[in-house]
Each structure stands twice: as structure tokens, then as C-alpha cells.
Amino acid sequence: MGLFNRKKSTEQIIETRDNEPQESYTVPVGLDFLTPYLNKGEATAVSTFFAGIQLISSTIASIPVHVRNYSSGDIVSHPIDIAFDNSIQSKFTIMKQLVWDLYLYGNGVCYIQRASDGTPTELIYAPHGSYSIVYTEKPRKLYYLFPNITTKRVEPINVIHLIMNSTDGVNGKGIPVYAKKMLDIALATDSHAKNYFENGANIDGILKSSKPLTSAQKLDIKQSWQTVHGAGKNGGICVIGNDMEYSPIGSSANDAQMIESRKFNAEEVCRYLCIDTTLLGLSGSSSYNSLEQAQLSFLSHCIYPLISLIENEFNRKLLKPSEKSRLYIDWDEAHIMFADKAATANYYSTLVKNGILTINECRHQLGYTDVEGGDKNIIPFTDINQNTIQGQNNKEDKNE
């Protein structure tokens, strides 16, 4: 017997759950529900960081969600479909916001509204700052507070809680917490570029005089210079007396390597998000030979781990105990590859030729209807009569 092939218990599974919020509460001291995240505006002001989260969240939100049967893999009808439909936001919007919050703040939270029998009836997205996580390490007590939804404590079973970069397993930390220095440098570089071009690509300098100047003369010269060549002034004619000399201070955009610095900052953001630079429009810095390879890397290192995180939480919270042995919630990630028609055709062709999937099973996944005779697994042979794996002409199968 294998390590995990243990005999299942025959005891009756109890369906009761903590469907109703717990006792009323008063807001604990020190908890501020509406305190915004410090880096909220700053992090998303970096274009590469914004584009990266936009790409990841939109990709996850566009993946179809199905409830499947463990034994057959067939899609079955389940109340989770109704829960998404009953929500104020669409399934796309809910999932996009959950992933967005997960990357920015380390926590993506949804409140699960249930019927009296524990069936999920609605998923209510909780924006960051509208809830609080109350966790006591000893004796390991956890509950949530949603003042905009209910005045009672909410047990973990009634909350979809996606966590990233947690140090205690309960409270997550967003990417900006770890990438703060990099984001500060990127923002400073962008700010420098903004000021540089606002000044008409001019730089600061010093007017030197070979003769002593009174305070009034210094002020008059400074005001005259600022009027023509000050901040925001483009062009104009510089007139300097015989006894004066202009010496620039500071550096040009080229001297400061501003363009190279901004490109390096964008590459650093991609490293934090596990995204190839070509997917965010940064050419000339990819280590992959084709866009397809970059896409596969994106799926393998970024999207698939995120899908596993989401599937695990949804299966834990949205399926009843009696359903978990026969049903599972599936994010159909194969849908992402459909955009590459050549890769999709080669993928399904290989599965059919090796007898792994039937023609109709492939057609189901592609959204097509069944065809006659398409439910048999086949492997190509020279003799066409031997093609059918499940055919009656296979005497070895009969004898076994």
C-alpha cells in the first residue's frame, strides 16, 4: 500500500459549519480599518510595476473556473457558479481585484455569504482597508472583522483569504514592502526626468562676475535670469556682460545615464514579479529566443503557482465536506495557451495520437460539439483495424 493510499473513514461526514457570524464585537484598540497602504499611490506610479500587476491579474481573471468530478474530470453544475452570478461584481472583476490586492498588500479577501445549509450564495469582495485580520498566536485563534458587512466576528471558513509573503501564515506582505528601495529609486529617476524635460532639458548653473557686486545687483541679475531662463522656460537668448561668465552645474540626462537607469529599474520590477521583460514591452533584454518561450516561462513561474494558491483556498472554503472527496474546483489554465493556435494544435494532436485523449474529449476542451465515433482512444498503426484501443478486435484485452 502506498504512503497516501490510506483507508478512508466510513464515518458520516458532518455538514454543519459556522455559517453565521459569531458574537458582536467592539473594534480593538489600534485597528484602523480605513488606513491606506503607504505605498499604494507610489508603487503603481511606476509604469512597469503597474503594467506587471495588470498583466498578472487580468490573466488570472480571464481563466475559466469549473467544478469537476474527480473520477471522470467532467464539468458539473455547482452553487459556486450561482455565487459568482449573485455578486455585485463579475467573476472577472472579483478575481482581478483579489490578485491586485494580493500583490500590492499581500492579502486578497472575499467574504462568503452562505445559505442556512452552508451553500455559498454570494462572494463579496472586501477592498484593502475595509476589514481587519485578528490573530492570536496562543491559543491560535483567528477571526475577521468586516464592519461594512456585519457587526459580528467572521470565522475563517467564511472568508476567501489569499496570502502572499507571510511571516506568520495569516498576515501577508505585498511586493512593495520588499521592493521599496527599488521603487524609490525608480520614482526618483522618473521625477528627475520629469523636472529635466519640464525645464526644457536645461540644467542649473552659476553666473560669475569678475567685479564685486552689491546685494541689489545680485538680486536684479538673478531675477532677470530667472525671467528668461528659469524653470519651465524653454528657449530664449542668453545675454551676459563682458565681466560675467556662466558655469553649469549638475549633469545632463546622458551624463546621468537617465535612460539606462530607467531601463534597469524596469528590469528590476520584472524580477520581483517573475515576468520576462518582453511581456512588458522592454525589448533587447530578454534571455528567451521567442515570445512563446517567454510566455511559457510566465505561465510556469508566475501564473501556475498563483493558480495553485487560489485553487487550494477555493476548494477549502467553497466545497462542503461531503463534496471534497468527489469534486474539485479547477482553473482551466490550458485556456491561456489557446491564443497560440500552432501550439494548441500540436498539443492536442499529440494527446490524440498517443491515445491519451479521445477526439471528443479534445473537442470538449476546445468548445466544439461531439462527432460520431470520436469517443474511442486510438493509436496510429499501419493496419487500420488495430487503431482502436478499445475495439473488439483486440484479443489480448478480451483474454485479460
* Residue 24: pLDDT over 70: no
Question: Which residues does 388 contact at the CB level (< 8 Å), separation at least 6?
Answer: 376, 377, 378, 394
Q: What are the strands of the beta sheet with 65-69, ordered from one edge?
A: 75-76, 65-69, 327-331
The pLDDT value recorded for residue 38 is: 42
The pLDDT value recorded for residue 30 is: 39
Distances (CA, A) of 394 to 93, 352, 357, 390, 391: 52, 19, 19, 7, 6
Q: Tell me 216's DSSP state.
A: H
Q: Are strands 107-114 and 120-126 parallel, antiparallel or unpaired?
A: antiparallel
C-alpha neighbours within 13 Å on the C-beta side of residue 14: 3
Our CA dihedral for 151, 314, 18, 4, rounded to 10 degrees, sits at -150
Average pLDDT value for residue range 302-314 = 93
In this predicted model, which residue has the larger pLDDT, 248 or 76? 76
Stated as kind and residue range, the H or E segment containing 330 is strand 327-331
Do residues 162 and 308 make contact, with C-beta atoms less than 8 angstroms apart?
no
- Give, in degrees to the nearest 5, the angle at Cα 60 between 55 and 66: 160
Q: Which of 371, 396, 365 is nearest to 357 (CA)?
A: 365
For the entire predicted model, the pTM comes to 0.69
Rounded-to-5 percentages of helix, strand, coil across the chain: 40, 15, 45
In this predicted model, which residue has the larger pLDDT, 342 or 25? 342
| Least trusted range by pLDDT, from 13-22, 310-319, 353-362, 368-377 | 13-22
Our CA dihedral for 393, 394, 395, 398, rounded to 10 degrees, sits at -100
**Length of the chain as a residue count:** 400
Q: Could you tell me which residues are beta bridge partners of residue 112?
A: 123
Q: What's the grid cell of residue 387?
A: 487503431
Per-domain residue ranges of the chain: 13-201+252-339, 204-249, 340-395
Rounded CA-CA distance 318/224 in Å is 72
The pLDDT value recorded for residue 82 is: 87
Rounded CA-CA distance 233/200 in Å is 7
- Segment 60-104, tens digit of pLDDT: 999 989 898 888 878 888 888 888 888 888 999 999 999 999 999
Quickly tell me which residue has 501564515 as its cell: 169
Q: What's the grid cell of residue 52?
A: 506587471
The pLDDT value recorded for residue 125 is: 94
Q: Which of 307, 279, 308, 306 is nearest to 295 (CA)?
A: 279
- The backbone torsions φ and ψ at residue 5, rounded to the nearest 5 degrees and listed phi first, read -90, 55
The pLDDT value recorded for residue 5 is: 39
In this predicted model, which residue has the larger pLDDT, 268 or 237? 268
Whole-number percent of the chain with pLDDT over 70: 67
pLDDT grade for 27, boundaries at 50, 70 and 90: very low
pLDDT grade for 31, boundaries at 50, 70 and 90: very low
Strands (DSSP E) found in 118-214: 120-126, 132-136, 141-145, 159-163, 205-209
* Residue 341: pLDDT over 60: yes
In this predicted model, which residue has the larger pLDDT, 216 or 205? 216
Helix residue ranges, H only, the chain: 40-44, 47-61, 79-86, 91-105, 175-178, 180-198, 215-229, 258-273, 291-298, 304-318, 341-353, 359-366, 395-399
- Residue 238: how many CB atoms within 10 A of its CB? 8
| Least trusted range by pLDDT, from 27-31, 99-103, 264-268 | 27-31
